[in-house]
Amino acid sequence: MEIRFEKADHLKEKPTGTLGFGKYYTDYMFVADWDAGQGWHDARITPYAPIMMDPATMVLHYAQETFEGLKAYKTDDGRVLMFRPEMNARRFINSNKRLSMATLPEEDFVQACESLVRVEKDWIPTGDGESLYIRPYMFATEKAVGVHPSRSYKFIIICSPVGAYYPEGVSPVKIYIEDEYTRATVGGTGFTKCGGNYAGSLKAQEKAEELGYTQVLWLDGVHRQYVEEVGSMNVMFKIDGKIITAPAGETVLPGVTRDSMIQLLKSWGYEVIEKHLDVNELMEAGKNGKLEEAWGTGTAAVISPIGELYYKGEKVTINGFKTGELTHKLYDTLTGIQWGRLEDKFHWTVEVK
């Protein structure tokens, strides 16, 4: 893919102090357009700027929108690494196919991310746990009211220097198990990263926050009984020495971190069971001490220890609300590989030169 570069007249001040998550954006963005007949064209890196849209633009009405999230890390010796970007590229294709949108070839997705990160490498923060969050997304741009797949799309990538996703940092979070609203059902869009999945989740998130919980743990959409995933992370439980996580790819997002952690855990000799875990079984394991550890996995949240679960008025505390030994080991190994401090035995990182 040929990428044009349009230089900015002036560059922004870089933020100082605590970065938080998604508060600052870099100087440039990547943009490419797709039209039926012409395909992808006009790939460019241009100064970060607002997008002009006609009020009839289809995404505003029918929500054909998909996105991805990955990070670039700066190592102690100044190298720039991305973590398994080809996995995001493939998931993006799957999301776009499900939403009847244009698809971007895997190599073009990776090239676009690399090219923008190369331009913005001075924006990659180097404080403890900090990185550059990369947000590729695509949306319908045809001007039309009337439900049909759009005949044109825009693909954009923006970047944001970030620190910890949760205000708690790497301390345990409290999770609210949602028993009223659901996120996905078989045959729906649960396995995709489309904006609509998140819009539908906000009501439950508000409810959880009002009760002092950080995120929602979703149950399946049919029985409201089987554990699926958390708002922005997959979830794993260590029960009686075994690791249990929900099967991904249908109603659960196939997380890049989830897949990586399953590979790591198996390489350490753990039995990893992908199954529909009954929430009552989970709460029972919490009460009788068999639930040894629980954690979430995600690009933004990294490995996030879970210290408390709330379900229908009952609470269980996990590992005395302390980060468990295995959770710690996963966090240290994953971040060690991502920041180039540990050997990358699985060849997960891609260097941006």
Ligand X SMILES: Cc1ncc(COP(=O)(O)O)c(C=O)c1O
**Is the separation of the CB atoms in 148 and 22 below 8 Å?**
no
Backbone φ, ψ for residue 247 (5° rounding):
-65, 140
Q: Verify binding: residue 229, ligand X, rule CB under 6 A.
A: yes
* Residue 62: CB minimum distance to ligand X, A: 21
* Residue 197: CB minimum distance to ligand X, A: 7
Q: How far is the C-alpha of 244 from the C-alpha of 247, rounded, in Å?
A: 9
Name the residue among 197, 213, 195 with its Cα closest to residue 205.
213
Q: Verify binding: residue 349, ligand X, rule CB under 6 A.
A: no
Q: Which is nearer to ligand X, 112 or 119 (CB)?
A: 112
138, with CB counted inside 10 A (0-12, 13-18, 19+), is buried
Q: Verify binding: residue 258, ligand X, rule CB under 6 A.
A: yes
Q: Verify binding: residue 257, ligand X, rule CB under 6 A.
A: yes
| Residue in the structure block whose two tokens are 């078989």 | 186
- Which of these segments, 165-173, 207-215, 271-279, 296-304, binds ligand X (CB under 6 A)? 296-304
- Which of these segments, 1-9, 54-62, 262-270, 297-305, binds ligand X (CB under 6 A)? 297-305
Residue of the chain from 161, 298, 305, 340 that contacts ligand X (CB under 6 A)? 298
Q: What angle, 0 to 180 degrees and rounded to 10, lies between the N-to-C axes of helices 85-98 and 106-119?
A: 130
Q: How far is the C-alpha of 31 from the C-alpha of 94, rounded, in Å?
A: 20
Kindly state the tokens that stand for 158. 């923006």
Residue of the chain from 19, 102, 119, 233 that contacts ligand X (CB under 6 A)? 233
3-state DSSP call for residue 258? helix
**Contacts to ligand X from residues 299-318, by CB under 6 A:** 299
Q: Which is nearer to ligand X, 96 or 257 (CB)?
A: 257
Q: Verify binding: residue 84, ligand X, rule CB under 6 A.
A: no
* Residue 91: CB minimum distance to ligand X, A: 7
3-state DSSP call for residue 207? helix
Q: How far is the C-alpha of 177 from the C-alpha of 198, rounded, in Å?
A: 17
Q: How many residues bind ligand X (CB under 6 A)?
A: 13
* Residue 185: CB minimum distance to ligand X, A: 15
Which residues in this chain contact ligand X in the complex, by CB under 6 A? 69, 229, 232-234, 253, 255-258, 297-299
